[in-house]
Amino acid sequence: MKIYTKKGDRGTTALFGGSRVDKDDVRVNCYGTLDEVNSTIGLLRAKLGPEHEWQPKLHKIQKDMMDMMSHLARPSDCKKENPNPKPEDGAEFCEQWIDELEAAMTSKSDYFLLPGGNEISALCHVVRTQMRRGERLLVTLMKADHVDEYISAYINRLSDLFFILARAEMDKAGVAEEKWQLFLYKRKKQPE
């Protein structure tokens, strides 16, 4: 089977079930952005090396992303059932990992932080910001068609997770975080 079909040469693509839409359709933009996120997670995994403790969980996230993208590529009026699993435990999975990471960290933060620090931390921030872009597109898609709630919860929690992964990497490496400013609710509590 050839990789190219030539069917998209005029700017359309097929959705799950066979209907065609423009390649700049919000649905295509949404799952395309999540595909970009998944590729960046792949880069992060390559930078970490095969024996890194995060590998199994990042691998699960990548597989879940593929499953979610397949469900996002299926309009609600499609009669064809999607055989791919629905990772409905995704938000809970992220929350558990976040809690584990935060419990192991030696530093807490009440500040907005500048992304960076070291290569792994910076790459986690790239994933986080790409995920937020995907989430914004997902919200637009949700206004046009039904999207299972587990997807929006998982995507929201993934951006939180990659923020904590960035912080955990900095903590483990002993690299100081660059603070921008105190959280607003903390500033309001400061004595005058």
Question: In CATH, what number is assigned to the domain containing residue 167?
Answer: 1.20.1200.10
Residue 8 lies in a domain: no
Question: What pTM does this model have?
Answer: 0.85
Q: Which residue stretches of the chain have pLDDT < 50?
A: none
Q: pLDDT tens digit string along 91-127?
A: 999 999 999 999 998 877 765 666 677 999 999 999 9
Range 32-71 burial, b when 16+ CB lie within 10 A, else e: bbbeebbebbeebbeebeeeeebeebbeebbebbebbbbb
Quote the number of domains for the chain: 1
